[in-house]
């Protein structure tokens, strides 16, 4: 049985420190970086069974949050679909960079950029096992994606937002 997915919501309220230096670039800037594009495709091809979904999602990607290793090679990516509010579609980190906080830094920097651009909220869908990662980055799980589109969406969000 596949692992259940959760839907998450985050209202950017302030800048937060990221544990790593992270680049936030446009999709066009990524396309100009052939080695990074190659690495992204290799990671998506080996870590997800959804290459066709990736290709469908790519058309809406506006920004890429990117981590580079000490030698300048891209080893972590986060794709942002950004019509008005932002949707995080993929967070992928090379095996050699895992366990170092790269995924968390990618998510935190994306929320920081949303805050700086006055984006009302950021959403994502992910495996339930990744809940601690996303909650540590300021995301709150919601019962269903319909809750985000509901007329009382912001009120529903306030009810879910941890106090403090």
Q: For 54-84, how does the pLDDT look when each residue is reduced to its tens digit (9 = 90+)?
A: 888 888 999 999 999 999 999 999 999 988 8
pLDDT at 48 over 80: no
pTM of the model: 0.79
DSSP state of 60: T
Averaged pLDDT for residues 105-127: 95
Domains and CATH numbers, the chain: 5-160 (3.40.630.30)
């Amino acid at each position: 049985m596949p692992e259940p997915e959760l839907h998450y919501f985050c209202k950017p309220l302030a800048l937060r420190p990221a544990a790593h230096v992270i680049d936030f670039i446009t999709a066009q800037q990524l396309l100009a970086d052939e080695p990074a594009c190659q690495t992204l495709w290799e990671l998506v091809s080996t870590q997800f069974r959804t290459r066709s979904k990736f290709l469908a999602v790519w058309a809406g990607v506006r920004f890429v949050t990117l981590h580079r290793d000490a030698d300048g090679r891209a080893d972590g990516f986060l794709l942002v679909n950004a019509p008005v509010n932002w949707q995080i579609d993929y967070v992928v980190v090379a095996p050699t960079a895992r366990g170092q906080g790269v995924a968390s830094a990618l998510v935190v920097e994306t929320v920081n950029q949303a805050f700086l651009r006055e984006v009302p909220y950021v959403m994502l869908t992910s495996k339930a096992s990744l809940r601690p990662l996303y909650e540590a980055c300021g995301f709150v799980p919601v019962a269903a994606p319909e809750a985000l589109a509901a007329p009382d969406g912001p009120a529903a969000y306030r009810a879910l937002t941890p106090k403090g």
